[in-house]
Structures are given as C-alpha cells and as structure tokens.
Chains A and B, each alone.
Chain A
Amino acid sequence: MTRTTVRARFALLGAIAIALSACSSSASPGASSGTGAAKVEIFSWWTAGGEATGLNKLIDQFNSKNPQWQVVNQAVAGGAGSNAKAVLKTRVLDNKPPDLFQSHMGHELTDTWLQYIEPLDDLYAKNSWNDKFPKGVMDIISDGGHIWAVPVNIHRANVLWYNKKVFSANGIKPPTTWDEFRTVADKLRGKGIIPLALGGKDNFEAGQVLETILIGTLGADKYKGLWTGTTNWAGADVTKALTTFKTVLGYVNPDHSALTWDQANDLVISGKAAMTIMGDWVDGYNASKNFTDYGWALAPGNKDIYDALSDVFALPKGAKNADAAKSFLTLLGSPEGQDIFNPNKGSVPARLDAGKPAADQKQYDDYLKSAQADWKADTIVPSLEHGAAAKPSWATAYNQAVTLFMTSGNVAAAQTALVKACKDAGICK
C-alpha cells in the first residue's frame, strides 16, 4: 500500500467522522424544534412498573399545563437506583446536572448533596407548604435551617406481611411482640412451614428486620437517638435487640442469601412461608402477582410508629432550566400531583391533605388507605436502610455488621462493630 492511498483513506475516514458528527448535532435540535419548547430534564430510577406509570402520568399532566416546556424523562434503570445514583454523581461532578433529580429523603440527600443543590425555602413559602407535611418529614428534609427537597411519596418499612390462609389453617394471629412471634413461629415450624421468609441477596433485607427490632425494643425516641448520637449503641437495649434478632434468624429460610425480597415474598405467596417483614412495596408486588390472600400488621413492638422512607426530588445548582424545574416541583408537592403518582406507585402521599384522587385516576387500595390513616396519626421515624436515617457509608457499615452477625451469631462483636460504625460516621464520640 502506498503512502498516498493511506493518506487518502485517512482523509476519507475523517470526512465520514465529520459528516457523522454533523448529522448527530443537527439531529438533536431538530427533534425539539418540532414543539419549540425548552427542555426540562427529570432524573430518576423509575423505569418500570407502577412507579414508571405514575411518573409518566405526572409528566403528561405537566406537559398539558405547560406547553412552553417539554419534560425529558431521564430515568436510569437497574440496581434499585444504585446505577442511577452513580450516573448522577458523574454528571453533577462534571457540572452537567439534570434539572431535577430523585433521591431518598434524609441523610442520603443531605449528607451527600448539600453543596450541589439549591435550598427550596422560597418554594415552600410561596406554596405555603410548611404545615402541609408532617413535622417528622420536615425534620428529615431540612438541614442547617433550610429545606432541601420535595417529598413525593411515603413508604413504610416496618410492616409484617402474612399469608392469611396459612394463619387461619394454624389458628394463629399476627404477633404483636417478639415473644408472641416466637410462640407463633415454633408452631409454624412444627408444621414444616418456614415462619419468616427473608431475602438477603441485596444486603438490605436482614438489616431492615433488625431496624424494626431496634424500633420495637428501643421505642421511637431512643431509636431516633441512635442516628443523632443521643442513644448509646453500646447500651443494654441494643444488646437485647441483637439477641432478639439472633432468635428471629433461627426461624428464617436457610437459602436467604440467594433470594431477593420479592423471591422471599414468593415463599409467602406459595404458602411455604408464613410471614415476611418488608416495606409496603410488597402490597403492589402481591397485586401484580394476583395474590389477594395476604394480611398485614406492624412488625412486633412497632405499634403507632411509622418507619418512613420517601422519594424526594431536589434542584441541583446550575440546572439549565430552573424555572421549569420549580414548576415541576410545585406539581410534585401539590395534592393533585401526589394523588396522580401515589396510587400507581403503591405508596401514600407525603402531604397530610392529599388522599382523594380525581375520579378518572387510579384509586388507593385498602392497604394504602389504612397506611394513610396511620401516616396522619403515628410517630414518624426515619428508616436506615432507605437513606432517611444515616448517610450511605454508615448504612453500609451497619449492613456489614449485620451480614457478619448472621453467620457468626456473635452479639458482642456485632455490637462493637455497630458502635464503631457510629464513630466512623462522625456522629458518636
């Protein structure tokens, strides 16, 4: 091959490259110039099922009211949000943030993002939202005297789900204390039924069970204190909670480390297991499996306490279209927006005055109605496993202690690890 033909080929390649880039750069404005609307990018991990339906309905509602803006749904699939969070971090560190992004309410947002997001005090004042959300929620979404996010929905983490048929066949009632749990569980095990179905593949399910035991053993105030440094992790009541947890682990399926929460719940659906402790997304999951014979109760000892987590949206600094983003936040925070989204997602509205969807929208089911009544009455505590109570690295350290505890059964070592996790997080001295 001669030198000139090589050069000619390079020239050709270069020409193709330029032509391609010209095509792509002219194509993107062409797409939006059809509507002539400025774009607003909404970043989330809602890509499937009811949550995606809810988000799309919200976007439709927004677009019909605001033709001057066009919402771009930037949802990233996979990993229960962990993929989306990784993408978001690179975008924000690269100074190319979306106009709005999803996070969990609480420390996952405030300990990570505070330097990168705008306070929303004005938006709350303008819409007089300050008394529309429960005080427990306002505390969680505030930091340093400012409000940082708009909560869209509320999930509950401390629910005990059970198979009604299995319960009535064995003449038992949902346990309200951990001692009752033991009696019930012994009876079930005698019949060859797994008392408590547990998933463990994703490293949060068992931690969530311990979370409900901590709430049940310490009560709401002392549990909250664990995350603010006022309750001592080395205390005797934490020891008691860990001992209870150890007992409870004796009643779970042996293959828990292979199962996700939904596969564990499948054991309850099939009647191989009787109960599972999981968040209230189980309600929507059971519905999707056409399983209706399920009942719900609070995790033992969790009466009148609402272990809450929430999806919130925050406004990044340097958002290209902040006006449109604020307008979308206004829709998210309104009773109308919350009642469009939540029946689809299978969660309750964060607002106290919402709960009456328009007639042409999807309605709340029985579980959600009961949860909503509790939401207005119960004491709200933040869930650790879903970002509300502590920053992600602390949750990882807590989960690590739980994972090691599940095989070692060593209460003292687990408690030492939990004390250390609190110190490493900079909360405990």
Chain B
Amino acid sequence: MLIAPSILAVGVFVYGLIGWTAFVSTTNWNDLLPDYSSAGLANFASIFDNPRFQIDLRNTTVFTVCFVAAALVLGLVLANLIDRRIRAEGFFRSVFLFPMAISFIVTGVVWKWLLTPSSGFNSLFHLDPTTNRWFTDETVIHLGSDSPVGRWLGDIGLGFLTSTNFGVPVAMLSIVLAAVWQMSGFVMALYLAGLRAIPDELREAARVDGATELRVFRHVVLPLLTPVTISAVIILGHISLKIYDLTVAMSPIGPGFGTDVPANFMWTTAFNDNQFARGAAVAVVMLVLIAIVIVPYLIWTGRREIER
C-alpha cells in the first residue's frame, strides 16, 4: 500500500516517458509543431547516416572503455595501498574519495583550466603548448589504410576498420583523465570494502602452501573481488555511456567533434533544431546501449539471489 504512490510515479514518469520517447522516435515530429504520423525507422536511418553521430558513437565507446579500465586499475591499486594498514588511513581514504562528491560540471571547469594549452599544466611544467594540446588536439589515432595491418584488413574486406571512425580521438583522453580523477576514489572505496571482507585465513592458507604475495593476490584475492569488479563496471559503465555534464563543461564539441557525445547531439537536435523525433531516436539508441550493459547484470544478480 505504502509503495503504491511511488510505483505509480515511477510507472508514469520513467517507464511511461520511455515508452513515449520510443513512440516519438518513430514519428515525423521534426518541426516545432507535433506531427505524430508514422515515419517508421526513418529517424534512425537519418541519425546513423549522420557523420557527427557516427563520431559520437566512436567517442562514447572510446570514453567508456578507457574510463572504466583506468578507473578500475587505479582504484584497485589505491585500495591495495590503503589496505596495507598505513598510518592516517582515514585521511587518505577521504582524500581519494572526496572528488566523487564534486559535480561533474565543477570537475569539467577545473580540468578545462588545467588542460587549456596556453595555461594550467603546460605553463606549470613549461611544456610546449603547440605539442601538448590536450583536449584541443584533433589527432585521431587509427590504423592507416597503407600500413601492413591496414592492407591486410583491406584484403579481407574489413577496410572500413581503417577509417577514423574506428580510431581513438586524442582529445577525448583529456576528458577520460578528468573522469578518472573523479571516480577512481569511488572504485577504491568499493575495492577496499571487498578486500576487508576477505578473511585473512584464506591468504594465510595460501602463504602456508608457499605462494608468493603476487600469486596470493592473483589466485586468491582477485577472484574473490569479482563481484565488486562487476558492480564497479556497471556503475562506471552507465555513468560513462550517458556522460554529458563533464564534456559540456570541459569541451562541448572539441576539434572535429573529437569530444562530442550522443547526449550533446541529442540536445542540439531536439531543442535547437526542433527535430524532436530525431532527438528521441538518439535517446532510444542511448537507452539500448545502456541496456546492453545493465540487463546482463540484472540477470546475473537475479540468478545469484535465487541461488541463495
């Protein structure tokens, strides 16, 4: 009884509006005046045909992979350092965790100042602004079509993999840096809790069997941390797939759309260009991308609940 209002509210404002967005994405509402006649999948065809959206999908993939991997590794390293029962542990824990309390907008503004080539890091460390260009660098690292691998890919009909749409935009790595700075402390906290939950007896047993510290970590600790890792990947993954505030504050478009993300494209399409159906189509694509990450996790946790 008591949760009925919240079920109703969630039903209408979350699932109802998801349904509405999905419906709008199949209409012809590409003007301010609503037009609910069916367009089939024309809006999806239009956005996937758009070079900017193709670049955005690349950016979002690169950002997600780099950000999740870097935050996991850094978080794990920090957690292990703190787990050594160092002095002032509480102090360091707070120092690493605090960035998470800041909004992405603030992080974005601060890191924009730090990484603007004519100021920040470059002037602090006397780096050459013409070579250290951070988020203004338009380079996209990709396979050259005339490189050996590129030629081989071309021979087997995968030549499209050598286009810049399958490259890594260097500008995006600056955004990754800022995001990792903000979220690795959170991953550290997750891992620290996981490490503390591992009984010492297990490690002792391994040591008695003659395992080195490295092998203890590799074969005892890491496997026991798997649930933590999966939770962390899900949390970081859904943050990074829908990232918007950080890039808008730091570099909304970037050189050659090098730091542009689908959410930004969606905003422009819907609210600047009045192409609401196409904007809704972008939203649906983003939802599907996030679902690809979240749904297996939900199934996995659901199974574990049953096993218990």
Q: How far is the CA of A258 from the CA of B132 in the complex (A)?
A: 13
A258 contacts B117, C-beta separation under 8 Å: yes
Q: Which stretch of B95-103, B224-232, B270-278 is in the interface?
A: B270-278
Any chain A CB within 8 A of the CB of B251?
Answer: yes
Binds A, one of B178-186, B254-262, B282-290, B299-307: B254-262
Q: Which of A85, A89, A404, A406 contacts B51 (CB 8 A)?
A: A404
> What is the interface of chain B mostly: helix, strand, loop, or mixed?
loop
**CB-defined contacts of A85 to chain B, threshold 8 Å:** 271-272
| Residue positions of A touching B, CB distance < 8 A | 82, 85-86, 89, 93, 112-113, 115-116, 200-203, 254-258, 392-393, 396, 400, 403-404, 406-408, 417
B135 at interface, CB cutoff 8 A: yes
Pick from A82, A258, A407: contact of B251, CB below 8 A: A258
B253 within 8 A of A: yes
Verify if B33 is at the interface (C-beta below 8 Å from A).
Answer: yes
Are A392 and B256 in contact (CB-based, < 8 A)?
no
Q: Is B93 an interface residue (CB 8 A)?
A: no
Most buried by B among A254, A258, A393, A408: A258
Q: Are A82 and B51 in contact (CB under 8 A)?
A: no
Starting from the known contacts A89-B32, A255-B117, A257-B253, 6 additional A-B residue pairs (CB-CB under 8 Å) come to A93-B34, A203-B253, A255-B133, A258-B112, A403-B256, A404-B257
- A112 engages B274 (CB within 8 Å): yes
Q: Considering the complex, give the chain A residue whose CB is closest to the CB of B32.
A: A112
- Chain B minimum-CB-distance residue to A394: B273
Separation of A116 and B138 alpha carbons in the complex (Å)? 42
**Complex contact B271–A406 (CB within 8 A):** no
Cross-interface CB contact of A393 among B171, B251, B274, cutoff 8 Å: B274
Q: Is B52 part of the binding interface, using a Cβ–Cβ cutoff of 8 Å?
A: yes
Taking the complex as formed, is B129 at the interface, i.e. its CB lies under 8 A from any CB of chain A? yes
Q: A89-B32, A255-B129 are in contact. Are A392 and B136 (CB under 8 A)?
A: no
Counting CB contacts under 8 A, is B252 at the interface? yes
In the complex, which residues of chain A have a beta carbon less than 8 angstroms from the beta carbon of B251? 201, 257-258
Contact yes or no, B272 A258, CB < 8 A:
no
Q: B48 to chain A: closest CB distance in Å?
A: 15
B116 within 8 A of A: yes
- Assembled-state Cα–Cα distance A214/B275 (Å): 27
Candidate in A400, A404, A417 with the most chain B CB atoms within 10 angstroms: A400
Known A255-B136, A408-B256; judge A86-B271 contact (CB<8 A): yes
Interface status of B21 (Cβ within 8 A of chain A): no
B256 near A113 with CB under 8 A, answer no
Q: What are the nearest 4 A-B pairs in CB distance?
A: A407-B256, A393-B273, A407-B138, A257-B255
Contact across chains for A115 and B33 when beta carbons are under 8 A apart = yes
